[in-house]
Amino acid sequence: DTGVSQDPRHKITKRGQNVTFRCDPISEHNRLYWYRQTLGQGPEFLTYFQNEAQLEKSRLLSDRFSAERPKGSFSTLEIQRTEQGDSAMYLCASSLTFQGARYGYTFGSGTRLTVV
């Protein structure tokens, strides 16, 4: 297994455009998480899935953000009508439900979004 994969690694977009990021978790992990990290801060929780069900969404996730995990495999995070404040590193992580905290959630390398 190659770990958690995120695509693309970098995205530059103009304000007002829509962007979509993809995350492929470790295949046997049933939980998938999205986080956002800005400069000088720790990762902030956005949302997470158990299999295909989205179980929790942060207040940070405005109605311009939507995430899906069809069939409980890969996940996509879409941002509509991007704003400059959306510029950040978007991180995806996966884990097993009952072992995640003990063995650590596995993070991908992230997608760096720059809105110009």
Partner 1 sequence: DQQVKQNSPSLSVQEGRISILNCDYTNSMFDYFLWYKKYPAEGPTFLISISSIKDKNEDGRFTVFLNKSAKHLSLHIVPSQPGDSAVYFCAARGNAGGTSYGKLTFGQGTILTVHP
Residues making contact with partner 1 (CB under 8 A): 4, 6, 31, 33, 40-45, 48, 50, 55-56, 91, 93, 100-110, 112
Smallest separation (angstroms) from partner 1 to the CB of 11 = 14
Closest distance of CB 81 from partner 1, Å = 26
**Which of 52/80 has CB closer to partner 1?**
52
- The string of DSSP letters for 31-95 reads EEEEEEE-TTS--EEEEEEETTEEEEE-TT--TTEEEE-GGGS-EEEEESS--GGG-EEEEEEEE
> Minimal distance in Å, beta carbon 68 to partner 1?
18
**DSSP bridge pairs for 53:** 50
Q: Which residues of 41-54 are buried (b: 16+ CB within 10 A; e: fewer)?
A: eebeebbbbeeeee
Question: Minimal distance in Å, beta carbon 41 to partner 1?
Answer: 6
Which residue's CB is nearer to partner 1, number 56 or number 68? 56
